């Protein structure tokens, strides 16, 4: 059995020790090196060529984001960020995901997390998952220059719902900023992400987009031209309230092993908007969005799947395509244009 060669990068000797203990207990993982700061991490990554790097977000000399950018220029490898639950940690983590990191694990209690062992199972699962991703997909450049899609809209009673997971934050940069601010439909975005990080995702997308992007709150009334990001650890649902449609947040059981789950949101949206529903399923592992796409098709709505060429992980869209639910299969940089075209 070929072992996954992992390098640990953290400025805390205590954290490096805990992570090493967690990984050493796995028969299919081998720790091949450790680094104490971002600069050392870059040097050792180039020398050791690990399969996966676990990278602390906040470090001296070079922080995790700066080290990641340098590593991605020099070699293509898989990086899992290890992030403290601070606002700064969340902001850097989101930017890291948009610059090539594949996933992240939050530290439950600050930069030196004495109870990080509780996250051991999550860390192992994420390392094993990203180890199967083709590194060439991480650093692939999009040759086209995307632009905001301008159209004259007639009135629209439509809704757009987007699902994304691994590779999503990077791919969403090719979708949300290309939507016009006068889009005559609300957009619901379900990105698989734990609590504490979705607000940073929404804030960053809002900064780089013309359309308004917010983290959804309980009781929000849907408005056209706003993107609502499902908060981490909550399913995002919809309920009709007279002439309004309101968002509700649900702490029910995980669906497809995740919360928020796109299937939950797609199901609610399709029930209310029927033929006027547009579902979009983007990069990610597993099948989340497939049952929801079935519900959208049941009501004769439209489903867009991201094509394999731009997916970091061709899992969720592949499932939708294989089941025959996709009306359109397009690369990430053409999704906004397709949404606008349908509306």
Distance CA 343, CA 335 (A): 12
192 is catalytic: yes
Q: One of 84, 111, 113, 165 is an active-site residue; which one?
A: 165
Rounded alpha-carbon distances, angstroms, from residue 339 to 126, 172, 294:
32, 14, 18
Q: Whose CA is closest to 263, among 279, 251, 275, 248?
A: 279
Query: Which residue shows structure tokens 């639910």?
Result: 325
Q: Look at the alpha carbons of 255, 256, 262, 263 in this order and tell me if their dihedral is positive or negative.
A: negative
Tokens of 68: 């990641």
91 is catalytic: no
Distance CA 191, CA 187 (A): 13
Distance CA 124, CA 132 (A): 13
Q: One of 11, 51, 267, 288 is an active-site residue; which one?
A: 288
Rounded alpha-carbon distances, angstroms, from residue 108 to 86, 114, 118, 125, 177:
10, 9, 8, 17, 32
Q: Whose CA is closest to 116, among 36, 1, 8?
A: 8
Phi, psi of 77 (to 5 degrees): -145, 175
37 is catalytic: no
Q: One of 192, 263, 267, 293 is an active-site residue; which one?
A: 192
Say how many C-beta atoms besides its own lie within 10 A of residue 136's C-beta.
8
- Start-to-end Cα distance in the chain: 51
Catalytic residue ranges: 165, 192, 288
């Amino acid at each position: 059995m070929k072992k996954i060669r992992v390098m640990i990068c953290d400025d805390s000797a205590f954290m490096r020790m805990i992570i090493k203990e967690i990984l050493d207990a796995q028969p299919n993982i081998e720790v091949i090196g450790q680094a104490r700061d971002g600069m050392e991490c870059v040097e050792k990554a180039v020398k050791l060529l690990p399969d996966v790097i676990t990278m602390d977000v906040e470090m001296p000399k070079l922080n995790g984001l700066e080290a990641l950018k340098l590593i991605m220029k020099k070699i293509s490898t898989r990086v899992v960020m290890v992030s403290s639950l601070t606002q700064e940690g969340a902001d850097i983590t989101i930017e890291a995901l948009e610059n090539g990191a594949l996933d992240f694990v939050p530290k439950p209690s600050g930069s030196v997390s004495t109870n990080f062992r509780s996250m051991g199972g999550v860390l192992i699962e994420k390392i094993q998952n990203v180890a199967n991703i083709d590194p060439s997909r991480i650093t692939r450049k999009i040759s086209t220059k995307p632009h905001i899609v301008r159209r004259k809209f007639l009135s629209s009673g439509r809704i757009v719902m987007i699902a994304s997971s691994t590779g999503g934050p990077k791919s969403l940069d090719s979708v949300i900023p290309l939507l016009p601010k006068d889009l005559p439909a609300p957009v619901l975005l379900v990105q698989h992400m734990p609590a504490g990080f979705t607000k940073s995702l929404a804030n960053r997308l809002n900064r780089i987009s013309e359309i308004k992007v917010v983290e959804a709150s309980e009781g929000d009334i849907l408005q056209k031209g706003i993107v609502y990001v499902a908060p981490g650890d909550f399913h995002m649902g919809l309920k009709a309230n007279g002439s309004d449609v309101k968002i509700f947040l649900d702490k029910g059981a995980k669906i497809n092993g995740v919360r928020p789950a796109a299937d939950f949101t797609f199901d609610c949206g399709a029930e209310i908007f029927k033929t006027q529903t547009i579902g979009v399923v983007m990069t990610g592992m597993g099948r989340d969005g497939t049952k929801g796409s079935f519900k959208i098709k049941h009501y004769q709505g439209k489903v867009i799947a991201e094509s394999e060429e731009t997916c970091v992980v061709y899992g969720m869209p592949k499932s939708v395509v294989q089941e025959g639910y996709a009306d359109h299969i397009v690369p990430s940089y053409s999704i906004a244009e397709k949404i606008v075209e349908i509306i």
